[in-house]
Amino acid sequence: MNNSALTNSGNIPKDLNINIRLPVRTPNTEESLELHAARLLLLLNYAGIKEKIISRTKIAKMDFFVRYPAYLKKAAAINNISVDDEVNIKPDSPMIRYKYGPWDSKYYNVFALLIAKGLITILPSKNGDVFELTDRGRYAVRELDNVEFENIIKRCVLVSQLFRNKTGTAIKDFIYQYFPEVTSRSLGEEIDK
């Protein structure tokens, strides 16, 4: 039976308009707030002190090393720690060079999402904002603790070994000292390695 037969039979109105949408493509890390949120939850859990990190500078610089395996490996070598070879893995999502080193403007939206979902709290303190997992956030981390996030978890654990007891300023200074190729970029320029 052809389409004209169906139309002529009266079963399908002639003015019927069917909108066919293209399927939604799976977002990549750069576009997905949820994937950024998952990485930051894992960072708080595995690299925070009692599931908290104090200061935006510290969380951004720790996240830089999670997102850039090549720089994490170099930082580990500087501290005489041997790691598995992940040098050829490209960054999960590029960051830009900002006033105090690596930064991502998506942080504001990601942190808003995490707060709105009740997964973290952010409270001011004299040393900077305190980012802390909630009970619901700890539950979400348990859900994320699987093979899909295995490499990110390993990086978070290594970041913890290297930087857990350092301030955000100390980590920033480390980046400035050992990775001038990152900090010599123009403000707003993407860090591409």
Quick one: pLDDT at residue 17? 55
Distance, in Å, from the CA atom of 103 to the CA atom of 188, rounded to the nearest integer, reads 9
Quick one: pLDDT at residue 179? 96
Quick one: pLDDT at residue 30? 53
Q: For every one of its 193 residues, what pLDDT tens digit does the chain have, with 9 covering 90 and above?
A: 455 544 445 566 566 555 545 444 444 545 689 999 999 999 999 999 999 999 999 999 999 999 999 999 999 999 999 887 665 577 778 899 998 889 999 999 999 999 999 999 999 999 999 999 999 999 999 999 999 999 999 999 999 999 999 999 999 999 999 999 999 999 999 998 7
Quick one: pLDDT at residue 93? 85
How far is the CA of 62 from the CAs of 15, 41, 59, 79, 174, in angstroms?
A: 58, 12, 5, 15, 11
How far is the CA of 92 from the CAs of 45, 50, 98, 156, in angstroms?
A: 19, 26, 18, 13
Quick one: pLDDT at residue 100? 84
**For residue 69, what are the contacts with CB-CB under 8 A and spacing of at least 6?**
86, 87, 89, 91, 151, 155
Quick one: pLDDT at residue 110? 96
Q: Which of 142, 139, 122, 126 is nearest to 59 (CA)?
A: 122
- pTM for the model: 0.82
